[in-house]
Copies of this chain bind each other. A is one copy, B any other.
Amino acid sequence: MQNSPLTAKVRKDFPILKREIHGHPLAYLDNAATTQKPKCVIDALVNFYEKHNSNISRGVYTLAEEATEIYEDGRETVAKFIGAADSGKIIFSRGTTESINLIAAAWIQPKLKAGDRIIVTEMEHHSNLVPWQLAAQTSGAELLYWPINLESEKSGIGSLDLQKFEEMLKDATKIKQGIRLLAVTAVSNVLGTVNPIAEIVKIAHSHGVPVLVDAAQAAARMPIDVARWDCDFLAFSGHKIYGPTGIGVLYVKNERLEEMQPFQGGGGMIRQVNRQTSTWADAPQKFEAGTPPVAEVYGLTAAVEYLSDIGMQEIQQHEIELTNHALKRFAEFNDLELYGPQDINSRSGVLSFNLRNVHPHDVAQVLDESGIGVRAGHHCTQVLHKRLGIVASVRMSFGLYNNTSEIDLLISELDRCRQLFIE
């Protein structure tokens, strides 16, 4: 097996890589769906439950103090990881989806009026579309789509054209249409496109439009710096950055934090509860009703520390190398249609494609027979797939532990698909 220096170092940290699938070593290439967990993350969970498990905040005994410290230290570690000035802006949720729904319910819904618009892009995940649809519908607002480039324009296929965005904003100003938000992904979970968030935010802000960044894919693939990006909201999931399921993060800028209504009601988010009305705790607790996922925060903290130790720059570099290799191999075949930028500078290691005349399900199933895990379907982007004129695609997406031999294996196994399904 050909390993990059990073891969050689990290593969032994992931217990699941020892697994065999139908007699073959696992080649896990579905990291955009969820990532595998290093031993330190699993150990953190065990350690929490075997040593410190307790509910937080309202307990004065030792375990409760420890659990509270674990939880609040986790907030600080996450804040540092994404360049947030203080941990008070970090809200823990159950995942990207809940983080975005939180903003839809607690921030935009109360201020949305009939005729207002929320801008989304055509490449958004359902989790960054449907919450806005739901919010828009209750108030007579609408979604406005920032289209992706399909022709090979200067920004490349599957990219967003900044000029188009400026025009949309200017047109809205002309007809005095209220644009309440831009919701945009930092990295597409299908095309692999890396969007220039800092520039996008600058344009949006110059027209008074706040920006929510879906960093579900980006957080595991590149350094994130909310201070530099200057976005208003940013959301990601623990399970996609080598941490546990059941935990997500929402970063909110101070000004926006003050505008937010409560999200869910319950224990921990209140100040005083009277019979008919209540008052609220300060942020971030105000937005964290109920017993929080303390163990999951501990696991997430371990994941963030693991990634920081390796260095997000190095991780990004590794992914670029894998992606370069994949792009080169894909170019060898003319029955492989790759969606998204060809240019390595505007994409990351998420590659969706179709093998001509073979259904993505069948491709994924045949690959599984050789131990390869890839995803087939619309990857929660029906709007994008419709735009691309397809129903489904096969997606290969890289993680820390992948290497070029796994890519080569996939490419060679596609031959089996051809043999089975195309006479």
Contacts and interface: CB of A to CB of B under 8 A. Distances in A.
Contact of A143 (B51, B58, B247, B276): B276
Interface string A227-251: 0000000000101000011110000
Contact of A49 (B37, B63, B127): B37
Contacts of A295: 244-246
Interface in A60-102: 60-64, 94-98, 100-101
Interface of A is mostly: mixed
A54 interface: yes
A115 interface: no
Contact of A62 (B21, B143, B270): B21
B273 A129 contact: yes
A278 interface: yes
A297 B127 CA distance: 22
Nearest to A36: B53
Given A53-B36, A97-B289, A289-B127, A104 B265 contact: yes
B61 A101 contact: no
A319 interface: no
19 contacts: A16-B50, A30-B59, A33-B64, A45-B46, A49-B244, A58-B377, A60-B368, A60-B376, A126-B265, A127-B290, A130-B265, A130-B273, A131-B266, A133-B276, A143-B275, A244-B246, A245-B296, A268-B380, A274-B382
